[in-house]
Amino acid sequence: MRLADHTTIGLGGPARGFVPADTEAGLIEAVQAADSRGEPVLILGGGSNLVVADEGFDGTVVQVATRGVGHGTEPGLVTVAAGEEWDAVVAGTIAAGLAGLECLSGIPGLAGATPIQNVGAYGQEVAQVITEVRAYDRKEQKILFMPNGQCGFGYRTSFFRGGDRHVVLGVTFRLDPDPLSAPVRYPELAAALGIGVGERVKCADVRSAVLGLRRRKGMVIDPADPDTRSVGSFFVNPVLDAAALARVEATARARCGEDTKVPRFDAGDGMVKVPAAWLIERAGFGKGYDPGHGARISAKHTLALVNSGSATTSDLIALASQIRDGVQDCFGVRLAPEPVLIGVTL
Ligand SMILES: Cc1cc2nc3c(=O)[nH]c(=O)nc-3n(C[C@H](O)[C@H](O)[C@H](O)COP(=O)(O)OP(=O)(O)OC[C@H]3O[C@@H](n4cnc5c(N)ncnc54)[C@H](O)[C@@H]3O)c2cc1C
């Protein structure tokens, strides 16, 4: 069994052991068994945020396949098992007349992975609506209920990210029992809907607009679209202080013309978030950039690195390093990878 068959980018060598777990008891048992043997464990969801080494994973891969969606006694409270497919969860909540997840339509993977990197898109992120994460603590060997405030959510991160102590078993969301969406905050989405920023429309309309935008960028998995053989965005948008932003602005003016404006979003505390795609393009790596070894930049989205079919993980990492170093040399900004890297470093 090669992990390439279980990752959306189609990369990754063999695993020593592979255990699919379709019950919660089975999931915990598989993890406990590997732990008692002292064997490394990789929890696998949909494999859409994973880059695994060509050498594979020398341990047990436990594939989360638990199912179940429950509605709480309070209207809008929804508890989802970790193995539920995320986009089906989003579609289901919209069909049930609940608002709060509509902008997160079309994101691949499973519900249990959404708290790990605080999945977000088009102005929404799961941290805004998660009330509680239920997780198995491998160290204490017990099940914990972690309220939102204990999850350490931030931009594409959480307390869970970077550690492997907790296995997410289920996630509870507090959604708004309202067929109208939350106010649309993202200008590109508002424009696609023909509304002003801050206005509300039917959640179903937001979902179809988001899916349309995402498809045009190769951000909805589609076997017929080779640009979707990726892990989504490969780099997170860097958050810069005033001095770093001033350096980027000076370089951008010198390279691209005096009237060049660096796009930025407020990140609080005097910091700004600058789109990594903008920096990558200005550093000379445009859409479709292809060094010719099988890993290339998507023709639709600068941030997505794609396996054109013949790539290895080493090829992908070589491309990512080239881009990261190019941006660093040009702007003095070091980009960080968004996916979880297993057995490889960048
Ligand atoms: C085309 C495309 C578009 C994307 N667009 C977006 C986007 O718009 N926004 C965004 O935020 N992300 C996006 N992503 C990234 C990815 O879809 C999300 O991060 C998703 O939540 C990963 O889910 P998964 O089930 O595939 O996790 P996996 O890739 O299987 O795992 C990711 C990490 O989470 C851990 N993990 C998974 N499940 C559990 C669990 N139950 N308990 C503990 N640890 C677990 C894994 O061990 C691993 O470390 C995109 C990816 C692709 C391929």
3-class DSSP assignment, residue 186 = coil
Q: How far is the CA of 46 from the centre of ligand 1 (A)?
A: 7
Query: What distance in angstroms lies between residue 325's CA and the mean position of ligand 1's atoms?
Result: 25
What's the whole-number mean pLDDT along residues 288-313? 96
State if pTM tops 0.75.
yes
Mutate to test the pocket of ligand 1, among 87, 104, 107 (most ligand atoms within 8 A of CB): 107
Atom of ligand 1 nearest to the CA of 64: 41
pLDDT 10s digits, 194-213 = 999 999 999 999 999 999 99
**Which pLDDT score is estimated for 73?**
86
Q: In this structure, are residues 24 and 325 in contact, taking their beta carbons and an 8 Å threshold?
A: no
Give distance in angstroms: CA of 118 to centre of ligand 1: 9
C-beta of 66 in contact with ligand 1 (< 6 A): no
Burial readout 302-313 (b: 16 or more C-beta within 10 A, e: otherwise)? bbbbbbbeebbb
pLDDT tens string 26-40:
999 999 999 999 999
C-beta 105 within 6 A of ligand 1: no
Largest CA distance in the chain: 62
Q: Is 36 a catalytic residue?
A: no
In the chain, what percentage of residues exceed pLDDT 70?
A: 100
Q: Identify each DSSP E strand in the chain by its residue range.
A: 15-21, 41-44, 50-52, 57-64, 69-71, 77-81, 98-99, 120-121, 124-125, 130-137, 142-147, 166-174, 176-177, 239-240, 265-266, 272-273, 295-297, 305-307, 340-342
* pLDDT (tens digit per residue) in 223-268: 999 999 999 999 999 999 999 999 999 999 998 899 899 999 888 8
Q: Is 108 in the pocket of ligand 1 (CB under 6 A)?
A: yes
Instruction: With beta carbons less than 8 A apart as the criterion, state whether 79 and 171 touch.
Output: yes
Active-site residue, 156 included: yes
| Cα 231 to the center of its chain, rounded Å | 8
338 is annotated as an active-site residue: yes
pLDDT digits (tens, 9 = 90+) for 216-235: 999 999 999 999 999 999 99
Q: Is 221's C-beta closer than 6 angstroms to any atom of ligand 1?
A: yes
Helices (H), 102-145: none
Ligand 1 neighbourhood includes 121 CB (under 6 angstroms) = yes
- The pLDDT assigned to 1 comes to 85
Ligand 1 contacts CB of residue 219 (under 6 A)? yes
- CB-based contacts of 119: which residues, under 8 Å, 6+ apart? 86, 104, 107, 109, 113, 125, 126
The number of angstroms, rounded, from the C-alpha of 87 to the middle of its chain's C-alpha atoms is 13
In short, whether 56's Cβ falls inside 6 Å of ligand 1 is no
Catalytic residue among 134, 138, 156, 324: 156
Q: Which atom of ligand 1 is nearest to the CA of 6?
A: 30
Stretch 316-334: mean pLDDT, rounded?
97
Is any ligand 1 atom within 6 A of the Cβ of residue 46? yes
Antiparallel, parallel or unpaired: β 166-174 and 130-137: antiparallel
| Residue 253 CA to ligand 1 centre (angstroms) | 36
CB 117 near ligand 1, within 6 Å: yes
CA–centroid distance, residue 249 to ligand 1 (Å): 33
Query: Which pLDDT value is given to residue 91?
Result: 98
Catalytic residue among 84, 233, 264, 282: 233
Ligand 1 atom closest to residue 42's alpha carbon, by position in its atom list: 47
Label residue 232 exposed, middle or buried (CB < 10 Å: 0-12, 13-18, 19+).
Answer: buried
- Cα(109) to centroid(ligand 1), Å: 5
